[in-house]
């Protein structure tokens, strides 16, 4: 596979070439200035481009515009030390891109290259282990350095891209799969069935790789009608949950924002291309919200409702999906115990603090150049009510953005489902009998929600 690396530092480029050739057997071309980069782009067909926008002699922006003309479909990784250089307009046309933080390492770049060029890449284990490595390795490290994954929700390709461990006791782990090993479902089943292991663990530093890898699986699964809809939904939930964890810890960095948009698009494609997925949502018990599932469910059902509007588009899904991921990020700035209490059970000072999360969420968003004002508006209005009884401003009816109304309705739906421990269909049957709830939400939004669940001829009867 032929790739191009463009960066101003020659010594860095030479080190990168050695890593890519050793670990992935890539054919690597390099350029330390814009002129040379454009020449190479004109001469060769690359499968991946890394572009540090700080290059000179034809700036990185000039090179980027040149790529837009010839290669806008190629996977591309950006990096720059200039904080405000990468804007929404700059990224127009690119479908598969990633923003590598300025402090990103060669190892980070290597992992990104693997996930962005799947399924064409076979990872070479640094230890050069045999394909079916049966060795296990003890690891002693702080628990905070690991991220847990339910063993039932672990998916892999032919080779695992990161080390996989099980936890023995506090600070003690057993590495059962090494990065680059062949995936062996029999081994996992042994731990699951015989040893009653419920969770697998990966290093937290590998979580971004995990998210990108699972997002690729999610994208590919939307096209495959042979995959069980329940598995597809669990896959979507898995990537969303880990993504929310990453954002809550690292904040809304530009590359995570873009990743969120891609996840939202893949969730929408999943719903749009496989009607069986929407049907499975009705009674899937596993969708009852847990700690990190709230944002996933709000995103999932909001995309489902938005799909029913005739004016929906790719940019609409980008917008509402992004807003759903980040609508409650302000809760991370409030006392932790507040997120464990349902809003219906809050009192006095708790309610006042809870109401603050809306503006806190908006304040944590990156500049408008990365989002656009609509995302800000959706988040700022996602607790407003159609009858004017919401917060923070108490606006009503036509003064609430329709996308905000969708998120507001879905937020209430998901919270009710969680508080009452119901599945989605049970929630629908109960909630649409609650007059106070119906008054708070846009009738058009509720009708479009019901269109996803029941025949259109029954809708008017349900809302009377």
Q: What is the percentage of the chain residues whose pLDDT exceeds 90?
A: 31
Q: Is 88 a residue whose pLDDT tops 80? A: no
Contact present, 400 and 442 (Cβ < 8 Å): yes
The 3-state DSSP class for residue 165 equals strand
Structure tokens belonging to residue 296: 């996933």
Q: Give the CA dihedral 282, 288, 291, 295, nearest 10 degrees.
A: 10
pLDDT of residue 440: 96
Rounded distance, CA 418 to CA 427, Å? 9
Element (H, E) at 189: helix 185-189
Q: Is 290 a residue whose pLDDT tops 60? A: no
Q: What is the pLDDT of residues 123-164, one digit of tens each?
A: 444 444 444 455 678 899 999 999 998 888 787 666 777 889
Contact present, 24 and 120 (Cβ < 8 Å): no
Residue by residue, DSSP assigns 89-103 as GGGTT-SSEEE--TT
Domains of the chain, each with CATH number or no CATH: 2-116 (3.40.50.2300), 137-207 (no CATH), 222-463 (1.10.3210.10)
pLDDT of residue 380: 95
Rounded distance, CA 336 to CA 253, Å? 22
Tell me the CA distances in angstroms from 454 to 233, 309, 421, 429, 459, one per residue in order: 20, 16, 22, 11, 7
Residue by residue, DSSP assigns 418-439 as HHHT--HHHHHHHHTT-HHHHH
Structure tokens belonging to residue 217: 């699986």
The 3-state DSSP class for residue 201 equals strand
- Give the mean model confidence (pLDDT) for residues 422-439: 91
- Residue matched to tokens 């119906």: 438
- pTM metric for this prediction: 0.67
Q: Beta-carbon neighbour count of residue 177 at 10 Å?
A: 24
Average pLDDT, the chain: 82
Structure tokens belonging to residue 67: 């790529």
- Residue matched to tokens 């709830």: 437
Residue whose C-alpha is closest to residue 165's, from 130, 134, 139, 129: 139
- pLDDT category of residue 95 using cuts at 50, 70 and 90: low
Q: Give the CA dihedral 232, 233, 237, 239, nearest 10 degrees.
A: 20
Q: Give the CA dihedral 281, 240, 251, 16, nearest 10 degrees.
A: -160
- Give the mean model confidence (pLDDT) for residues 215-235: 81
CA gyration radius, the chain: 23
Rounded distance, CA 156 to CA 162, Å? 10
* Bridge partner list, 76: 49, 97
Q: Is 282 a residue whose pLDDT tops 70? A: no
Q: What is the pLDDT of residues 159-183, one digit of tens each?
A: 777 889 999 999 999 998 888 777 7
Q: Beta-carbon neighbour count of residue 385 at 10 Å?
A: 23
Q: What residues have CB less than 8 Å from 379, skipping those under 6 apart? A: 323, 326, 327, 358, 361, 362, 365
């Amino acid at each position: 596979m032929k790739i191009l690396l463009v960066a101003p530092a020659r010594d860095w480029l030479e080190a990168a070439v050695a890593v890519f050739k050793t670990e992935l057997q890539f054919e690597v071309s390099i350029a330390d200035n814009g002129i040379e980069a454009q020449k190479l782009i004109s001469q060769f067909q690359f499968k991946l481009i890394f572009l540090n926008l700080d290059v000179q002699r034809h700036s990185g922006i000039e090179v980027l515009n040149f790529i837009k003309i010839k290669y806008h479909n190629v996977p591309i990784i950006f990096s720059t030390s200039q904080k405000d250089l990468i804007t929404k307009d700059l990224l127009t046309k690119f479908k598969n891109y990633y923003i590598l933080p300025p402090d990103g390492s060669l190892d980070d770049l290597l992992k990104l290259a693997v996930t962005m060029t799947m399924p064409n890449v076979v990872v070479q284990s640094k230890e050069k282990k045999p394909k079916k490595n049966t060795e296990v390795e003890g690891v002693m490290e702080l628990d905070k350095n690991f991220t847990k994954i339910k063993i039932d929700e672990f998916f892999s390709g032919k080779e695992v891209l990161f080390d996989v461990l099980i936890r023995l006791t506090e600070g003690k782990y057993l590495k059962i799969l090494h990065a680059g090993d062949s995936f062996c479902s029999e081994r996992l089943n042994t731990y699951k069935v015989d040893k009653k292991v419920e969770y697998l663990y990966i290093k937290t530093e590998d979580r971004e790789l995990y998210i990108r890898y699972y997002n690729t699986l999610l994208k590919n699964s939307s096209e495959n009608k042979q995959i069980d809809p329940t598995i597809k939904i669990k896959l979507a939930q898995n990537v969303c949950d880990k993504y929310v964890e990453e954002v809550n810890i690292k904040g809304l960095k530009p590359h995570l924002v873009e990743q969120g948009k891609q996840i939202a698009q893949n969730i929408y494609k999943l719903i749009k291309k496989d009607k069986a997925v929407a049907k499975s949502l009705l009674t899937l018990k596993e969708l009852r919200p847990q700690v990190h599932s709230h944002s996933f469910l709000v995103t999932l059902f909001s995309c489902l409702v938005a799909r029913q509007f005739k004016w929906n588009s790719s940019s609409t899904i980008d917008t509402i999906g992004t807003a759903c991921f980040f609508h409650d990020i302000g809760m991370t700035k409030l006392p932790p115990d507040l997120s464990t209490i349902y809003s219906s059970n809050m009192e006095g000072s708790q309610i006042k603090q809870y109401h603050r999360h809306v503006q806190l969420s908006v304040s944590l968003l990156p500049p408008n150049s990365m989002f656009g004002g609509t995302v800000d508006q959706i988040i700022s209005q996602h607790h407003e009510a159609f009858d004017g009884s919401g917060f923070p401003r108490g606006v009503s009816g036509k003064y609430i953005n329709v996308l905000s109304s969708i998120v507001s309705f879905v937020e209430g739906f998901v919270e009710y489902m969680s508080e009452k421990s119901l599945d989605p269909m049970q929630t629908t049957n109960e909630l649409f009998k609650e007059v106070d709830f119906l008054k708070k939400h846009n009738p058009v939004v509720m009708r479009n929600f019901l269109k996803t669940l029941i025949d259109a001829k029954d809708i008017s009867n349900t809302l009377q």
